[in-house]
Each structure stands twice: as structure tokens, then as C-alpha cells.
């Protein structure tokens, strides 16, 4: 069973839409480290990397939950 909070999902959506941890953190009124921890917690909960992070970009990863 996946255990996540609504704010974790909102964080994922904000990062995906804004393609930036910085913008997402501002939008959600969180620090960047707090936002990163939320995303890491969500990734741990689902057992998959959800966001590909590089110094140049942020994007969702293709994840198949079948």
C-alpha cells in the first residue's frame, strides 16, 4: 500500500509543472530542502524514481506501475 500525503502529491505536480524545484518551493511556500525531502519520501513510498534531476533540468520519469 502506498502511503503519501496530499502535500507530497502537490509537490510532485508543482515540480512537474514548473520544471523547477526552486519555482515549486516558492509556489508551495517550502524551502527547497523541504520540497526535496517530500519528493524523496514520495519516491520511497512508491518504490520508484519519479523525477529525473540534473543540474540543467528536472523532468518526470516514465514509471510503469503494472
**Residue 43's domain is classified under what CATH number?**
1.10.10.10
Structurally, the chain folds into a number of domains equal to 1
Higher pLDDT, 1 or 50: 50
Q: What is the CA radius of gyration of the chain?
A: 11
Do the domain assignments include residue 12?
yes
Q: Which domain holds residue 35?
A: 6-60
Q: ∠15-8-4 over CA atoms, to 5°?
A: 145
Each residue's pLDDT tens digit, 33-50: 999 999 999 999 888 999
**Domain assignment present for 49:** yes
- Compute CA distances 10 → 1, 18, 24, 26, 55, whole Å: 19, 12, 9, 13, 23
Residue 23 lies in a domain: yes
Residue 65 included in any domain: no
What pTM was computed for the model? 0.83
Is residue 1 situated within a structural domain? no
**Overall average pLDDT of the 8-30 stretch:** 93
* Residue 14 within a domain: yes
46 within some domain: yes
Amino acid at each position: 500500500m502506498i502511503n503519501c500525503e496530499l502535500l507530497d502529491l502537490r509537490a510532485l505536480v508543482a515540480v512537474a509543472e514548473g520544471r523547477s524545484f526552486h519555482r515549486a518551493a516558492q509556489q508551495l511556500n517550502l524551502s527547497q530542502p523541504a520540497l526535496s525531502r517530500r519528493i524523496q519520501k514520495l519516491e520511497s513510498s512508491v518504490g520508484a524514481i519519479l523525477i529525473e534531476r540534473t543540474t540543467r533540468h528536472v523532468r518526470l520519469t516514465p514509471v510503469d506501475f503494472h
